Amino acid sequence: MSRTDPHPAGVRRRVARAHLDRIEAVGPKVNATVTVLAERALAMAESADEAVAAGAAVGPFHGVPFTVKDSLDVAGVVTTRGSTLFEDHVANADATAVARLRAAGGIPLAKMNLPEFSYWTETDNPLVGRTRNPWNAGRTPGGSSGGESAAIAAGMSPLGLGSDVAISVRGPSRHGHRRAEGHPGPDTCHRTLARGAPPVLARGPHGPQRAGHRDRSRRPRRSRR
């Protein structure tokens, strides 16, 4: 990436500050955050500004804040997994997906809510409680990456790191949110959620399907001998 910075001085810190202000403003209504890394994020954003000013080589996500589903480790930060069993568990290393995004210059902003052990299609747990859909507090944001999807939809984060094994990203995208372009299949472990990208549907022979799901409703049965 070019070392020439087209943005004014301090812009990365201001971007981080703006998203932290948004978390503070709407966070209590949506209840999507588990841990906010305000001081750490601002310090990293300031260092990112200084690196650009010094002409250092930077990555493609240099200074971009991102949020992380609380099933994924961020070094030095509690990873609860939505369970009282892990409410004091401090990660000693970044998860691979987090490490890669940080290596590209990203700045962890907050850890986001999830159902206990990511094991449900709504986002609620004994530690943080229920996350609400920012468009309608009486509706669910889905799960298990519901904290991430709610944060993206509410403008609390420009980029979110979630996970999807069964329907944990695709489900929240169905509840009025948007996810990254592409269609994670059932073997996908980590995907980002991005604002403004359209949800992707596949179309089977009997109508629309969510991406990664096969239509088995009218599959001919094998005859038994």
Which residues are tagged catalytic? 69, 144, 168
Counting Cα atoms < 13 Å in the Cβ hemisphere of 23 gives: 25
Q: 10 Å Cβ neighbour count for 84? A: 11
Evaluate whether 70 touches 113 at the Cβ level (below 8 Å).
Answer: yes
Of 100, 45, 25, 44, nearest to 68 (Cα)? 100
The dihedral through the CA atoms of 73, 77, 81, 87 has a sign that is positive
Evaluate whether 33 touches 23 at the Cβ level (below 8 Å).
Answer: yes
